[in-house]
Copies of this chain bind each other. A is one copy, B any other.
């Protein structure tokens, strides 16, 4: 049997998302729910993949299936593509498994040609509407299918407006549009050497093909990279009967969310335009009306739409983002999908829908995107500092959060400035999909035009970037790279600050403060803790970080690095003396100077963490990192240390490494200089005993030995640590619970985890280094070539951001399995940056880890992700 490549809406349903795309599955589902959906059919994602397999050729099989189903559909609606007596006009839209808004191509009003335009005028009596639709079609088709520059078409419209002396599209009449159409067709012929295609079938095939092609246009590829969407999925193509919001005053078109996507308020939120097509709303060229206005203008329509909205929400158990068109007082639903929302809105919606009985707690938790919480965990403007500031203007609060940065005026500059390490605010007249990379590079986005559902607003919310939109006061000079606003001139490179929650715009930089967890956020976090079984700890090197981690719900410190402490001003000299020491005595003498300050570091940490475990990693980086490299500094240091410059340079040279990442570091330092580990152990254990004595709390230090790759290596280092710890504990007469464990960050450690676990009380996967070694990528260098890997679609995601489950994950799973085999009591955590990445957290849950440890600001994300992992697991 031949594979079915084309489906009528009636033949699909919501579960067929992979095959029919999100939009197609949604249209099918709405159709079967009996909602007023204009009919049509879907060309599957498989057909798209086949198209690419066939090196960009639509197979005869596909064409024949399209023809067949089109005929079926024509019979049903009793209209025919290309039939002047009863012409069928179509909308051709992309639709991948997951929404990629604006990234791929759309062709509307397809099926018109000169003859059909004429007959449509006869049939509808609306000449202006017909020629407006025709010119729209030529414009879109020429851009999308034939690759002509869209702006040239805009220019021709402006020419006609100028001739006529008007400004708005609505000032143009049918004759004007005819003039425009003639201009368009001439231009088309001039550029391409052929007439604008008059055969509706040809129009259809080539439009479908161009949607296929748009799957791989640069901005779609970039969007997929950004959102970790596999390049192999392909897009479906939705072919839907046109309905017209631009047939007059009893017509309208709009988009609306079932709740407020910015605040979560349970109230329809959206915009519409009377006598317009959908693109007019999104493009931001006409300023649309608030959806509440629809209630006044067309109350019945409004009620019907509100009812549909409520029903769809209940049905999909999620807030919906819908498109509708009203054609001659009849409501059509064109799309529904889960709506993008701000993090605050997401929390409120989840809590509200639970309270309203629409969803369960589990469903509430699953509705949230843990990554989005990030937006709530970043600093906002310091209220005190803000009091001193007066905004110079205000726009729409399109995407919340506070941000400051230097102004740039186009996406390319944003990318370049960002590379230089600058914080950037992108200021644009309006944004378009071409700007997506530049937007991603920015701290915040400010636009002159467009509303809350404009491109800038939607994309910024999705990215969690602060956005102030539609600030019409701005006098924009994009090319000249400056704008004026209420008397202020802001040039490229000037610092401004934006408050995406209020829409306020400030000159200069405003200090920010950390976030806290309360209200709906706290409620959700408590629910997450009810469900999750995976522990969440934090990586923290200082009492301040530790305190922040506690506020965000960390259950311990999974990684306290000690090297940062070595760099501090009051000890770096002693550290350097230790490094240049020529004898054990000299080295020990230097270490003796570090001991008291290091002990105090740990006392402060234990005081903050009380009875929660605190995992302290022994010194990890190669020693040369603590020595200066610049001539001047070397000279000064030599003097300070009482060495000749030559002697010091000899030490520096002898410590130089070709590949420091794989050099003399981690426990290898202890193998060479056990004194360092002994001093650190003494500092940890004495600090723990001191704090236990003074606070009477059962302090729980865990000493972590890094970069172990071999059992005997662990035994050797542990020997020193254990001996020192035991002696101190014994002498103190205090009963101290301490553990000694190891980091697992080398492939060999995973491969021999059964051996190594015999000597370790805990494992902590250092997945940063493990990823480096497994891929053979130096993180410091890979940046230079990883871009090529993304561009060439070899890598979808950054393996340092989300764990590579197939490779690195296989080693982790092996490490867990082997480790537990010989040591069933083994506690196993992860302290690489993956510990705060939701997809990675899910993997770690499945792999059977005890806990993840991540930066304090990601602790809430990890808590939610852990709960989701457990809930998914139960299914």
Contact = CB atoms under 8 A, between A and B. Distances in A.
Interface stretch (A251-259, A290-298, A663-671): A663-671
Given A672-B788, A788-B672, A789-B671, A663 B751 contact: no
Contacts of A807: 709, 747-748, 751-752
A301 to B, nearest CB: 50
Given A658-B780, A748-B808, A716 B769 contact: no
A805 B772 CA distance: 22
Nearest to A784: B664
B775 A746 contact: yes
A633 interface: no
A774 to B, nearest CB: 5
Interface stretch (A60-68, A164-172, A791-799): A791-799
B775 A671 contact: no
Given A657-B781, A781-B663, A795-B710, A776 B810 contact: no
Contact of A710 (B663, B712, B794): B794
A98 interface: no
A657 to B, nearest CB: 4
A784 B811 CA distance: 28
A233 interface: no
Interface string A488-521: 0000000000000000000000000000000000
A328 to B, nearest CB: 52
A755 B716 CA distance: 39
Contact of A747 (B657, B747, B752, B806): B747
A611 to B, nearest CB: 35
Nearest to A709: B775
Contacts of A663: 778, 781-782, 784
A243 to B, nearest CB: 43
A71 interface: no
Interface string A705-720: 0010110110010000
Contacts of A626: none
B794 A713 contact: yes
Contacts of A782: 662-663
Given A658-B661, A661-B659, A776 B806 contact: no
Interface residues of A, number: 49
A716 B781 contact: no
A465 to B, nearest CB: 30
A712 B230 CA distance: 13
A781 B671 contact: no
* Count of identical protomers in the assembly: 2
Given A659-B662, A671-B788, A788-B672, A774 B747 contact: yes
Contact of A773 (B752, B773, B792): B773
A97 to B, nearest CB: 20
Chain A binding site: helix, strand, loop or mixed by DSSP?
Answer: helix
A777 interface: yes
A660 interface: yes
Interface in A602-648: none
Contact of A662 (B668, B713, B776): B776
Given A774-B773, A792-B716, A780 B659 contact: yes
Contacts of A788: 668, 671-672
A780 B660 CA distance: 10
Contacts of A746: 774-776
Given A769-B776, A789-B671, A781 B751 contact: no
A780 B664 CA distance: 11
A774 B751 contact: yes
Contacts of A660: 658-659, 781
A315 interface: no
Contacts of A710: 794-795
A751 B750 CA distance: 12
Nearest to A771: B748
B671 A776 contact: no
Contacts of A712: 793-795
Contacts of A778: 657-659, 661-663
Nearest to A712: B794
A789 B668 CA distance: 9
Given A657-B778, A713-B794, A811 B662 contact: no
Contacts of A804: 748
A368 to B, nearest CB: 32
Contacts of A792: 671, 716
Contacts of A789: 671, 713
A516 to B, nearest CB: 38
Contacts of A772: 662
A755 B804 CA distance: 15
A564 to B, nearest CB: 19
Nearest to A780: B658
A758 B394 CA distance: 59
Interface in A647-696: 657-664, 668, 671-672
Interface of A: 657-664, 668, 671-672, 707, 709-710, 712-713, 716, 745-748, 751-752, 755, 769, 772-778, 780-782, 784-785, 788-789, 792-795, 804, 806-808, 810-811
Across the A-B interface, give the 8 residue pairs with the lowest CB-CB distance, nearest first: A659-B778, A662-B778, A748-B807, A658-B780, A747-B747, A663-B781, A746-B776, A659-B659
30 contacts: A658-B660, A658-B778, A659-B659, A659-B662, A659-B780, A660-B781, A661-B778, A662-B662, A663-B782, A663-B784, A664-B781, A664-B784, A664-B785, A671-B794, A672-B785, A709-B775, A710-B794, A712-B793, A712-B795, A746-B775, A747-B747, A747-B807, A748-B776, A748-B807, A751-B774, A751-B806, A751-B807, A755-B806, A769-B776, A773-B776
Given A663-B778, A747-B807, 4 more contacts: A663-B781, A671-B794, A712-B794, A752-B810
